[in-house]
């Protein structure tokens, strides 16, 4: 998801997720993803839809990592630590 949201993966992210990059956000991080309304089970259980809640639960420090290696390190620290960095 990090690669899709940050444009590292060469796919059209607008077809998969709705990233809301709003400045001045008071909760969560600046790269939250909005849940897409699902019409059928294929959309509901697709990769982007299954990962939205998990992505939005991450801290700002994790999702704003500069590269994939840094993201993975911070994700592991967040996941196996006390959910803070």
Please write the tens of the pLDDT for every residue from 61-71.
898 898 989 99
Instruction: With beta carbons less than 8 A apart as the criterion, state whether 4 and 13 touch.
Output: yes
Query: What is the structure's pLDDT at 53?
Result: 83
pLDDT digits (tens, 9 = 90+) for 3-40: 777 777 776 666 556 666 665 555 667 778 777 777 77
Ordered by start, the domain boundaries in the chain are 2-80
Query: What is the structure's pLDDT at 46?
Result: 78
């Amino acid at each position: 998801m990090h690669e899709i949201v940050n444009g590292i993966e060469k796919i059209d992210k607008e077809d998969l997720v709705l990233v809301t990059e709003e400045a001045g956000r008071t909760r969560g991080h600046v790269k939250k993803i909005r849940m897409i309304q699902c019409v059928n089970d294929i959309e509901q259980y697709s990769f982007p839809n299954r990962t939205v809640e998990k992505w939005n639960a991450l801290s700002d420090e994790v999702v704003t990592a500069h590269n994939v290696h840094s993201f993975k390190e911070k994700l592991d620290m967040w996941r196996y630590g006390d959910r803070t960095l």
